[in-house]
Chains A and B, each alone.
Chain A
Amino acid sequence: MVKTLSGTFLVTTLLFTSPQTEAPRWIIMPSVNEDIRRHTKQTFFSGFHYDSLTTSVLYEPATRVEPDARGKLLERIASWKTLQAGWDGEQSEAPINSAINLASLFIDTLPRDVSLPKAMLSSSGEIGLYWDTSDIYIDLEFDSDTTFSAYVRNRHTGYESFVDNLSLSSSDLDLIFKEFAS
């Protein structure tokens, strides 16, 4: 489950933002559990090197999260349930309902101080959530009711990573959110 830990860790740390009620400010990196730091260096995101990320990527002006932004995002994704095959050209497939549910659950699970992603719908019916900043591009894709995958590109180094079969239910996820909520 180290892969899950690392993948989610990156998403949550890179996009850590200011509290919703405050004006935008620079991201402040919270303290990091040594276990997480060790796992992160060893596995999926080994090419990113955690320490360089903290200095070159994390200090990014945060996007202000409006109070109803999360609700709007969830509504937008839920509205896709009505789309049928052919919504984006003859060969496009209907959105995968179970993937909509998992993506919605992921958004619900995101700590309030993590900036919200944008949502996208692929022509093959998968639900995508992505963050696109001047430093990094992160793209999660949900294609079932249980797992999702993550693709990450560091815009400074060009280094890319991908991990599949991430899970919301892992204890790693709980550990990470707990870590960054504190």
Chain B
Amino acid sequence: MNPCRDFFCAHLNDANKVDALIQEPDRIAWESVPASEYSPEPVGNDEVLCRQLVQPIHFQDDGSIDPAAFDDVMNKGLSTDRLKYRDLAESQIEGIARAERHNTEFPMKPRRELVAFAQFNAGDIRDVTPMNSNHRALAVYDTALPDNPAHADICFIAEKTKENKRSIRSKLCDVAKRQGLTS
């Protein structure tokens, strides 16, 4: 029995997965058990995660990324690839293909384009705290998919207040800046 796996299986396509996750008392302990039957292992603190950045609006003229680029952490979870199990070249191929699929399927919506990768150290993500608190704010789960065993989600696990959202998104952006963007 693995309630973590059951949870992520039940909320696989839930756009508000994080709201349900916040209610789970064992959400931090779940980081150390497999969250998917396809998972190679839970995500270690020394692992690097990469996030495809496909929305040019989130880039500034100076090439920096804005903190709103990672808002998925607050609702459905921020999808990333674990570089330990999928290298950047593979992610790039998949990212370009995914953007093209979107552009074909939704020609009236803003075009997506794989602009860059943000990278995060998993341990740094786990060190992020809510506003003026020592508690955990973000968790990393090995939500592997059948066609992508390297998939992992970064999820908001703190109290969902306006101030925490603002605090945490700015700190997550700092974590990404520490690793740098790859374009």
Contacts and interface: CB of A to CB of B under 8 A. Distances in A.
Interface stretch (B69-77, B117-125, B140-148): B69-77
Contacts of A89: 72
Interface stretch (B21-29, B42-50, B53-61, B80-88): B53-61
Interface residues on A, range: 20 to 34
Nearest to B61: A72
Contacts, number: 67
A118 B60 contact: yes
A91 B66 contact: no
Contact of A151 (B15, B71, B106, B170): B170
A130 B169 CA distance: 12
A119 to B, nearest CB: 8
Interface stretch (B30-38, B149-157, B160-168): B160-168
A120 interface: yes
Contacts of B162: 149, 162, 164
Interface residues on B, range: 20 to 34
A122 interface: yes
The main secondary structure of chain A at its interface with chain B is strand
Contacts of A80: 57
Contact of A121 (B68, B109, B170): B68
A173 B98 CA distance: 47
Contacts of A172: none
A123 interface: yes
Interface in B73-105: 75-76
A162 B166 contact: yes
Interface string A134-159: 00010101000000010101000001
A141 B57 CA distance: 17
Interface in A104-142: 118, 120-124, 128, 130, 137, 139, 141
A86 B109 CA distance: 7
A60 interface: no
Query: 7 smallest A-B Cβ distances: which pairs?
Result: A162-B163, A151-B166, A120-B66, A123-B71, A120-B68, A122-B68, A91-B15
Interface of B: 15, 55, 57-58, 60, 64, 66-68, 71-72, 75-76, 106, 108-110, 131-132, 162-163, 166-167, 170
